[in-house]
Amino acid sequence: MNKQVDPDIVTVQEVREIFSDRRWTIMGALLGTCTAILLVHSLEANKVYSFQRELGLGIVASTMPFQIVYCALHLFARENEEKLLKIDLRRIGNLSVVCQIISYGSMIGILIMWYGISSFVGPLLVASSIVAFLTVRFVLYSSVTNTENELELNNSSSNDERVQNDRHYPDSNHRPW
């Protein structure tokens, strides 16, 4: 069928918006990490039993099929991006979102295993994870709210004007512009 004649066929851009290279890279890295963790811990199978370790490994192992399914969906969509129907893209797009959400659960399993390393490492890992999450949320939120100031900053022509418009740091003279 010709693409111009059939409006039900998606464009390459529509497929690449749902199945981006960034998502592929993240899922591939997560799959590689989970595989490495399972391989390393399978070599230590005779280690003393720990419920925490077994729970973490169980979570990691149970999320790996979803990572593999996401990769297969991604490859299928990218290989067939010029002949995929809109309804099919919507279905595999929804399925890929479910696979991604479940796959990110493997990080909980990794955290559970790392929490059990020692009584000092575990709480510090959780505390630093919370701080990192809040930092990312703060930066994302502040970048959305500061878009009005960005226009004002870009329109200023001299370094002195840019320093006056910089609201991030009280002492902005160190900034390179």
Q: Are 93 and 74 in contact (CB under 8 A)?
A: no
- Count structural domains, the chain: 1
The residue with tokens 């001299």 is 158
How far is 177 from 164, CA to CA, in rounded Å? 12
Give the domain extent around 59: 12-118
How far is 83 from 10, CA to CA, in rounded Å? 7
Element (H, E) at 93: helix 86-104
Q: Is residue 27 part of a domain?
A: yes
Question: In the predicted model, what is the mean pLDDT of residues 51-60?
Answer: 91
How far is 51 from 165, CA to CA, in rounded Å? 55
In the chain, the percentage of residues whose pLDDT exceeds 70 is 76
Render pLDDT for 93-127 as a digit per residue (tens, 0 to 9). Answer: 999 999 999 999 999 998 888 887 788 888 898 89
Q: Are 61 and 100 in contact (CB under 8 A)?
A: no
Q: Is residue 90 part of a domain?
A: yes
The per-residue pLDDT of the chain, averaged, comes to 81
Q: Is residue 58 part of a domain?
A: yes
Q: Is residue 126 part of a domain?
A: no
How far is 36 from 139, CA to CA, in rounded Å? 32
